[in-house]
Structure 1
Amino acid sequence: MAASYGQQQSLSSPVVVLLLGETQSGKSSAGNSILGRRAFQKSTTLSSREDGTIFGKQVTVVDTPGWFSDTATPDRVSQELCRGLTLCHPEPHAILLVLPTTSVFGKEEWRAAEDQLRLLQTPIWQRAIILFTHGDKLGGLSIEEHIRQQGQTLHWLLERCGKRYQVMTNQPIASEAQVTELFRKIQRMMETNNRSKEIQNMLYTKLRQDVCLQEEMSLQGRQEELEMTVMNAVHDGRPTQMQRMASGRHKFPSESTAEPFGSKPALAFVLLGRSKSGKSSAGNIILEKDEFQLLQYGRTTRCSARHGMVLKQPVTVVDTPGWSVFGMANAKEIKKEINRSPSLCPEGSKVTFLLAIPVDKFVKGDRRAVEEFVSTLRGDVWRSTVVLFTYGEELRGKTVEKHIEEMGEPLQEVLRKCGHRYVVFDTERGDVNQVKQLLEIVEQM
């Protein structure tokens, strides 16, 4: 298929394509056209993945069941959509939002799509392309004219997707040319996203170096004062902080904790949250390195601790298994692991629980789950908890305060329990300033 394109513009890495859309939108047929064979059945009830070679490169296509816009989408469909995301390994490089040209995409259709997309808990728009199916049904109408006639809702969706779209028909000859063009667009999108990450990493590294240099200069200026303090403590026969630490005992975070002499206390963060809430990514951002594996085929099942120096301060991060939105995980085992998490924190460290809540819809069911699992720890755990809003990039310029207001009572009640302590993490692109803000909140607790 299109060998010349494969020779001229070969994709730099294996491509994983995720198909999403309403029922009867033509997702499975589109997947078959992309792979050049009958890989998917037309009536999809379970998410499935198929591999193929296109333009000399390995391609994985994941098909998912469609959601409903005229009636409520069954929970089993939503569960399969979430499972479809786990079939994307290592991640979906392109998310094709499939829209048939034979129907109107209005507000009802968008609301139905939004409800399901939010459940995926993954950045979507920088990887999204609208795939218009049934292109042969346009007749003599151009796709541009079709878009113009559709109205404001489709125009808004196209803006969210960076105005990326492709038309596909069921005619074999036309499909081959359209698949060629689709992969050109996927390649350009991947290259743009990679460049953006490189630029962000450069800026992040430079900012981190500047901050560390400023802190190092500050520490040098205090060195003489610290040495005098040590001399006076020894001369007076008073025990130093280091001596007091040696004779101390492990304390729960709500109690007073020992503090190393001449420095800030060692910190420990325990990450709590539902599955796909961005806990592991947040842990990597805090430690400024990839310590926690971001699982695609499965999920975190056991607590694990990692250590590092963050802004000249010793920090331990404990990742925990996430509870399931749909009750698919073993709640008893998750609670057992959550209860075990404080034991992985170094003795004498100041422990803070970070409750990861994605910037997304948060309803009564989410609040009940949070209260059920967090409360398995001691009753005063809320006094040591900070809400960590993940996927902050999805705010798209909106303030987090406005988001909290829009979510209403369920989210606001959780924030009240946590003393209105919260910080926002852009989970996709780490920023040293958001980590500094977190440390400042903890210092004031």
Structure 2
Amino acid sequence: ISGSCPELRIVLIGGRRSKRNKSSTGNLILGQNVFDTSSRTDQSTARQKEVHGRLVTVVDTPGWWWGYPRENTSELDQIEIQNSVHLCPPGPHVFLLVIPVEFNFPLSVKSSLKEHLELFNADVLKHTILLFTAFSSYSEENIQHLIKKYTSVQQILQQCGNRKHFLHISESADRTQVLELFRKIEELVTNNLNNPYSKKRQKVRALVEGVLQNSHIGELNTLVIVGPQRSGKSSAGNIILGKDAFDVNKNCDSPRTTQCEIGHGVFAERRLTVVDSPGWYWRYTLQDTSEMNKLKMENSLYMCPPGPHAVLLVIVLGTAINAKYQRSLQDHMSLFGDDVWKYTIILFTRPDWLGVKTVEERIESDEGLQWLVNKCENRYHVLNNLEPNNREQVKVLLEKIEEMWVGPCIFTQKNIGPQWSGKSSAGNIILGKDVFEVNKNWYGSRTAQREIGHSVFAERRLTVVDSPGWFYIHTLQDTSEMYKLEIENSLYMCPPGPHAVLLVVELDTAVNAKYQRSVQDHMSLFGDDVWKHTIILFTMGDWLGVKTVEERIESDEGLQWLVNKCENRYHVLNNQERNNREQVKVLLEKIEEIANINFSNKIHIILKNLII
């Protein structure tokens, strides 16, 4: 039987009555047990089958507690519910609000539903049908009685344009009830002028914020695999997960990956999530690729909310990267936003093609490959498809992903005030070279805008930003708007953000009440959590003489306050020993330690100087 709509896209939503309700509904609609009914749904999942002559996609979502406000629903569940609409691009034809008929509906159900529907656009109810379900048979009279009994159900039904349907869920259920549901959905689609529900989304949030909001470095575990067709994406995903999560077709004429799929695994005591995405034809421009496939590719970022940690671009090592191939890559990677290359690692497959050559020799032999490796800032990894059980290659890949995020990047922020403070000098000592101008006269000119410097030390890439600071007795109100903007914007000169904050203080500074207020005020420019990521960098270490830094701290209540704010994190830098690289090495070790603990907030390192 063929319907008027060759394709139907359905999202199941509703409260959490039993762990079987929505998932069982999805299984009945698709005619196969594709959704897990043994435990609650904790992430939105899409499944697709041909049913009654239609290609039907059903998305199952986490439920919320009926009658409870949205604040009682976890943030992750809310993100997953929102994410559901992106799992069936370009958008669902219908939302089925699943209501179990055995449920006693409190009056609070209406307000709970209203709050949870705010996760979607305001017109969501235009695309909604109430779906009453039961695991036993009910007549139409029973359903009408239920509606009359509960005012909240009557009101919800009115908001949905009185659209409703009943499904009896059982293994021997009559399939004509599913066909009748399809008919009602098709009628709704016609009434909506064939326009599916759509919700705009922001690529940068999915790709970047996802990384910034995840916990610490040990949880860099969410990967999206992209690349041309026939490059071995699905096979690579299976090797990373250590199991057959994605269908691998060994014949060149077999169906390719046609939609985004998600797989989960555990490796080295960390949970891994891998998203496999449809590929593009290697010589197609973006214009040649269908709109549907482009939407599916974009959609891959939204299958692991709040976003992936890395994008793995899969390339077969034997591929000749000519001009057409380059353009196709450039075009299709642009679907993920301008910043995608910053988070991309090339994953070379089929290394057996190399023979006795190294991957470096292969790269040197192909200008197109050199271009691609440069785009990814020399980040690449070789995965041997012929050794699927070699877990060492997966371990090294995950280490490279961590390195991509933890690679040290240091900002400095210069202070407004006297120049005999060692602010720019501290940045130069860390970089091991004179990058920032140091004025030896107190009347010398101060830094008026942000400056950036780069260096390499102990196989780490370092970046230091020197920027205007604030005068030590100024409140935030006293500091000009221009300088406040310059101070704030220092965060953005080393995207996607800092590992730690180094607050530079001269050891001979008396941290009095005015000084404390000034520090507190100006540090607030970076948010409430800035102190969790801050290390005090004491300069002028030679000033101590025979005293220790601990004795200096004990002698000054203001310094004690400052050290307590930073949870006892500090380091001494001796400006008179510019070539002492050991002091820099120890500093970087302390920074890495705090970065590992506080990875959730920022990715690189800010060096903030507050010196008088």
| TM-score for the superposition, normalised by structure 2 | 0.32
Higher relative contact order (CA closer than 8 Å, sequence separation 6+): 1
Structure of greater Rg? 2
